[in-house]
Every structure is written in structure tokens, then in C-alpha cells.
Amino acid sequence: MKVTQRLKTGAKVFSFEFYPPRTAEDTAKLFNTAVELKALSPDFVSVTNSSSGVAPYRTVALCAVLKAQFGLEVVAHLTCLAHTRGEIAEICDGLKKMDIASVLALRGDPHNVDSGARRRDYDHAAQLIADLKKAGGFAVGGACYPEKHPEAATLEADIARLKEKVDAGAEYLITQLFFDNAFYFRFLEKTAAAGISVPILPGLMPITGYKQMQNFTKLMQVSVPAALKAGIERWEGDKDGMFKFSVEYASAQALELLKGGAPGLHLYTLNRSRAAMAILKNVKTTV
């Protein structure tokens, strides 16, 4: 079942995000994670890729394995900065042959693309979305940023760009991670006012340490609430205490989102299962 079909049922949709492993050891760990998370019956899993010209092919291969061997419904991420339209068409043909019918269309991060690898066929995700809709056969989604994309001048300008994605054919959206639900609910109000009516799945990730928190705030420009910052600082150096606090914070955040009308949850796993399983179990026993 395509992501869009699941969202139309009205039931809460729960999903996990993986990234292609680089080594045999990491591959084995990911497959163990997939087995453990499958037991929670996710509605789908998504598989990322970087903006390089090679990674999408690893993404396609991993999508095929997760679907064929693990029986998971898969959403393939597809970035376009490092690809020509012909290459995108080739990748899409591969996805169709593997019966993967859902795609998350992304521009990709320019800083991850070597100058020699950059293509000029695409500048924005909306262009890729339009091509995917013309090709047919895919449920196409896009990314969005409740606190605005780091490159956008204002949230309003970012939402205007997001409207272009939806007008081009994006049927659902998945947010960048955030830690303050007020940003998500404000974002829903502003996107609705802009004429965006597609489902917007909130993306969540438990913070596992102070360094990770610094990376989020610096690289992704994601705000960290005072209560979360204080908890991370308190439990730094205590692995078990940090895990418990992080899961409790993310679980409370998830429950508030669902009770506030979010269509589901998209959990960023970092290819690990323990925290994601704990969060989803907490949520499912409450809602």
C-alpha cells in the first residue's frame, strides 16, 4: 500500500527512517534493526541517500532488500542535485521494477556535492517532483522545515517554496526533526493559510548526548528547549540515565503531537532500534 493510501485511511501512521550502511558490519546491524522494528508493524520505512551521484543506487538496493526480504513497505529518498534527468529516470525504472511505489523527493545538500559532480538539470525539489508525477506510478512526498530551511530568509519564504512542491504534485510531507512542538503546530497554521492541505508527518529523533545536541543546533539550526538542554546536561556521562530521559522526552513530545492532530510519527532511527522501539511502544500503549 502506498504511503498516500495509508494516510487516507485516517489511522495514525508510524514509520522509521534508515540510511544505507557503508560496511558489512553496519549492514548486519541494520538488518538486525529492521527485524526488531518490523515487530512493531510500521506502516512504512524510508531510506535516505546523500546528494552524491553514487548513493542513490545504494538506496535503491537497500530498498529492494527491505521490501523483498523483510516485507516492509518502503519509501525511497531521491535527491536530484547530482543527477541528470536521464539518471533520475533510470533510478525510477529500477524502483518500479522492485515494486517500490513511494518516493520522497529532495533537492539534496549542495555542500555534499563535489563541484565536478553537480548537474544542472535540477535546482529545486519541485522540479524533481514534477518529473516524478509525469512519469507516473509513484506516491510522491516532500520534505519541510517547521523552523524554516536554514537557507530560507524567512519561514514565510520557505512556505512559499513548499507550496511550489505541493503544486508540482507532492502528496504528503515529512518534517525535519524538531524538539519543540509549538513550531510544528504553528507550521500547520501557516501552511494551511498558504493553501497547503496535504498530510504533514512530524519527524522526531531522541537526542543521545551533548555533542549530538550541539550538531543539531549548529548544522541544522534546530532549537533545543531549555528543559531538553537541562536534561541532556544533567545526564551526560550516564548512558542509562541519558537513554531513559531521552526516550521519555521524545515519547511525551510524540503523544502531544498525536493528540494535537498529527497524522502519525516518523522516527529518525540512525539505524538503531532500541530508542525507536521504546518510543513507539510508549505511544501505542497510550493512544
Q: pLDDT category, 55, cuts 50, 70, 90?
A: low
Identify the residue with better confidence: 147 or 60.
147
Q: pLDDT category, 229, cuts 50, 70, 90?
A: very high
Say which residue the cell 565536478 belongs to. 116
Q: pLDDT category, 157, cuts 50, 70, 90?
A: very high
Concerning whether 90 is annotated as a catalytic residue, the answer is no
Write the CATH number for 87.
3.20.20.220
Burial class (CB in 10 A: 0-12, 13-18, 19+), 194: middle
Taking 60 as the threshold, does the pLDDT of residue 53 lie above it?
no
Q: What is the pLDDT of residue 25?
A: 95
Q: If you average pLDDT over each of 46-60, 96-110, 148-162, which comes out highest?
A: 148-162
Taking 80 as the threshold, does the pLDDT of residue 36 lie above it?
yes
- Of 17, 73, 147, 171, the active-site residue reads 17
Give me the number of domains the chain comprises. Answer: 1
Q: What is the pLDDT of residue 245?
A: 95
Report which of 44, 47, 79 is spatially closest to residue 63, judged by C-alpha positions. Answer: 47
Q: pLDDT category, 211, cuts 50, 70, 90?
A: confident
Q: Provide the domain limits for residue 138.
A: 3-284
pLDDT digits (tens, 9 = 90+) for 243-287: 999 999 999 999 999 999 999 999 999 899 999 999 999 998 777
Asked if 268 and 207 count as a contact pair (C-beta separation under 8 A), the reply is no
CA 258 to chain centre: 17
Q: What is the pLDDT of residue 109?
A: 76
Residues 158-172, mean pLDDT to the nearest whole number = 98
Taking 80 as the threshold, does the pLDDT of residue 50 lie above it?
no
**Segment holding 249, helix H or strand E:** helix 239-259
Burial class (CB in 10 A: 0-12, 13-18, 19+), 84: middle
Q: 60 to each of 27, 91, 165, 240, 279, how far by Cα in Å?
A: 15, 8, 23, 36, 28
pLDDT digits (tens, 9 = 90+) for 79-135: 888 788 998 998 899 999 999 999 999 998 765 555 555 567 888 999 999 999 998
Q: What is the pLDDT of residue 112?
A: 54
Q: What is the pLDDT of residue 216?
A: 76
Q: What is the pLDDT of residue 147?
A: 96
To the nearest 10 degrees (0 to 180), the angle between helices 239-259 and 274-284 is 40
